[in-house]
Amino acid sequence: MARRNRRTTRPARRDPAPERRAVTTETARQPAREPARESARSRTRSRLARSGEPQAIGAPSPALERAAALERGHVVKDSRRLAITVGVMLALLVVSGFIVNAIFP
């Protein structure tokens, strides 16, 4: 059971002190405006979902090339492992089908 550190109940939370609130007049407030349709549409579009040419200019750095080569190696290795696993599972499925048909003709 969880240990209870608090021996007494918490005091009720009160409204923030009036001296901390900023005094504003009605003329200082600006009415809430509804955003225009076009600006709302442009904000919902993700910056990452753009199409077109990549923004990188020039040749990639050697460090970036090394990191990309290492990543490609890991992806190839993982794909190979996944292909072997799928092949073994399919072989076991076929073999188990033959065994079940042999036991229950």
pLDDT digits (tens, 9 = 90+) for 17-67: 555 555 555 555 565 665 555 555 555 556 666 677 777 788 889 999 999
Structural domain span for residue 81: 62-105
- Tell whether 32 is covered by a domain: no
Could you tell me how many helices (H) and strands (E) the chain has, helices first? 2, 0
Nearest to 43 by CA among 35, 51, 55: 35
Q: Provide the percentage of residues in the chain whose pLDDT is more than 90.
A: 42
- Tell whether 25 is covered by a domain: no
Nearest to 79 by CA among 87, 69, 89: 87
| pTM of full prediction above 0.85 | no
Q: Give the Cα separation of 63 and 32 in Å (integer).
A: 50
- Tell whether 29 is covered by a domain: no
